[in-house]
Chains A and B, each alone.
Chain A
Amino acid sequence: MVEYNDLIFEISRPGRVGYSLPKSDVESVDLQEKLPKHLIRDEEEAADLPEVSELQLVRHYTALSNKNHGIDNGFYPLGSCTMKYNPKINEDIARLPGFSRIHPYQQAETTQGAFELLYNLQEELAVITGMDAISLQPSAGAQGEWTGLMMVRAYHEQKGESRNKVLVPDSAHGTNPASASVAGFDTATIPSDENGLVDLEELKKHVDSDTAALMLTNPNTLGLFETEIEEIAKVVHDAGGLLYYDGANANAILGKTTPGAMGFDIVHLNLHKTFTTPHGGGGPGAGPVGVKEDLIPYLPVPRIEKDGESYVLNSDYPLSIGRVKGYHGNFGILVRAYTYIRTMGAEGLSEVSEGAVLHANYLRKRLEEHFESPYKQLCKHEFVLSGSRQKKLGVRTLDMAKRLLDFGYHPPTIYFPLNVEEGLMIEPTETESKETMDAFADAMIQIAKEVEENPGIVLEAPHTTVVGRLDEVQAARKPIVRYTKEKDAQKKKDTVKA
């Protein structure tokens, strides 16, 4: 099966095809003769497509998929990403022909069922977030952030105010300051206090008449709930700023509290995290945005509304920031999230956050004596450890992450948040069993012991994966991102020589 470790271009052979067509019943023509010369590509210009049989193609991609690590084949405790199980019923429903075989350009009368689902999802997400209206358009969290910030801008401009500063705590998601910059704002970082929470005094120093909004992730990326949330909201609102809630960590608060109850004006959710739609590999995701009443006029259009017994698209919102995504968002993902919400119900969603918090605290307690634990209080859905103790012994967090691969685990998020030295951000999620968490904890504890007793095994890890430690320096400094025939030929020559 060695050949299936090769690139598809390397197993290609001239003339091999992966299809069969019936014999043509019309006479063949020579295109070289019939077409003008300038339309005929010579060999050098021709698209260099691989030529393989159907079976080779199937084996090649199946082999590739087997090398991938996903939630269906292993524990994936990637902090902040909520890599929980994606129930298969979501897939069943999303594949129903009434959802999968419709087109967004169909007449609205013929897609009422799909519109009803989108409308209901909007209503349910509004309840879950404590907001007054939802747009399902944004295609993922960062686009949700940008959409929210564009509404912040439109809101202040409509009031005749020019506010250019967005405040972001250092424990926020990295996308927050990036989204603020893309939306044209200046950002100011609010440092955390010794407990890992927003330093209220620092916040007060930064808030002024130029403050457009505060973007807060709650619980933050340390997995800690902002206990002074009401005071934080008051400080920003009193200065005329808006409060933006990054709901990427909503898995910890479902059915317990809402951003609306905390005083927030805008929120985005990551359906691909909290609401079990698949993610990884770049998407697609979904990042619906919710707003309080004052901001409804600025929501993206068209909006899906109910008119009597029918569902309609309404673009009659002159202050809207416009459309932010083609059609109605990533519809297939929205169907999966709606299925999850309906199958779980309100009580089920509340149990989700209880499970997520219980699991994170269980794992934290099992690991805290083996690694530095900078924040000792109860956490929410995730927690952060530091590899600073191991660093003193010459082993880094990245080495330990690589060693985890040998045990079949995807490593946690590492070196984030930035305010923790050699950070390991672990989020087990509610969908894992105690046995899985115990086995992961045992692996982490073994690695901590190896660092002390046999560091070489950690420093040279991974040992059991298809490829060993990659040369990340070379990859970053001299990346080769495109296959060319010449390089393939050179590689074959080198192989022969070796």
Chain B
Amino acid sequence: MNLVVTLTESALDKLKTTEIKEEQYPRIDADIAGGCGISVKFTLVFDEPRRNDSVIEYDGIQIHIDLFTKRYLDEETQIDYNDEQGFLVGESFASSACAIELH
């Protein structure tokens, strides 16, 4: 799958003005919550490269995505930013299958 990541102007501005530690890069990461079914929320974090990362370059910024996260992303993913909610990445989703924990 060809993954296309786009950044809104506000997201791009924020990324360009954010101080990032040496050896760290912006990363789209799948944040998973489980218990009864799973929900996947995409976030933008700053951390070190992982072994199976894909790197997407957008306007000079290198965005890392690991293989696991890539599987869950839509083909086109937009990153937006606002001061209240921070970075907003793609479309999160929840699995309705209640198969992990029976209570």
Binding site for B on A (CB under 8 A): 78-81, 140-142, 173-175, 248, 270, 272, 279-280, 282-283, 285, 391-399, 413-418, 422-423, 455, 459, 472-473, 475-477, 479
Contacts and interface: CB of A to CB of B under 8 A. Distances in A.
A79 B101 CA distance: 8
A422 B33 CA distance: 9
9 contacts: A81-B101, A270-B103, A279-B102, A394-B52, A413-B34, A414-B34, A415-B35, A418-B35, A422-B32
Nearest to B73: A473
Interface residues of A, dominant DSSP: loop
Given A279-B102, A280-B102, A392 B53 contact: no
Nearest to B50: A394
Nearest to A423: B34
A413 B98 CA distance: 12
Given A413-B101, A459-B52, 17 more contacts: A78-B100, A80-B103, A81-B101, A81-B102, A140-B103, A175-B36, A280-B102, A391-B50, A394-B50, A394-B51, A398-B38, A413-B35, A415-B38, A455-B51, A459-B68, A472-B72, A473-B93
A175 B103 contact: yes
B20 interface: no
Contacts of A282: 102
B4 interface: no
A73 B46 CA distance: 44
Kindly list the 7 A-B residue pairs having the minimum CB-CB distance in the complex, ordered from nearest. Answer: A415-B34, A416-B35, A394-B50, A394-B52, A394-B51, A174-B35, A396-B68
Interface in B6-60: 30, 32-36, 38, 48, 50-53
> How big is the B interface, by class?
20 to 34
A283 B71 CA distance: 33
B102 A393 contact: no
Contact of B72 (A140, A399, A473, A479): A473
Contact of A418 (B33, B71, B74): B33
B68 A80 contact: no
B94 interface: yes
B66 interface: yes
Interface of B: 30, 32-36, 38, 48, 50-53, 66-68, 71-72, 74, 93-97, 100-103
Given A399-B68, A455-B52, A459-B67, A476 B93 contact: yes
B25 to A, nearest CB: 14
B60 to A, nearest CB: 25
Contacts of B67: 394, 459
Q: Find the residue from B71, B95, B101 having the highest chain A CB count within 10 A.
A: B101
Contacts of A174: 35-36, 101, 103
A338 to B, nearest CB: 21
B28 to A, nearest CB: 14
B72 A392 contact: no
A399 B35 CA distance: 16
Nearest to A395: B68
Contacts of A394: 50-53, 66-68
Contacts of A459: 52, 67-68
Contacts of B48: 392
A81 B94 CA distance: 21
Contacts of B38: 398, 414-415, 472
Given A174-B36, A394-B66, A394-B67, A414 B100 contact: yes
Q: Choose among B72, B74, B102 the residue with the greatest number of A CB atoms under 10 Å from its CB.
A: B102
Nearest to B66: A394
B66 to A, nearest CB: 5
A393 B51 contact: yes
Contacts of A397: 32
Contact of B101 (A80, A140, A285, A395): A80
A398 B103 CA distance: 21
B103 A173 contact: yes
A84 B95 CA distance: 27
Contacts of A472: 38, 72, 95
Nearest to B69: A396
B35 to A, nearest CB: 4
Nearest to B35: A416
Contacts of A270: 103
Chain B CB within 10 Å, residue with most, of A79, A248, A396: A396
Contacts of A141: 103
Contacts of B35: 174, 413, 415-418
A345 to B, nearest CB: 27
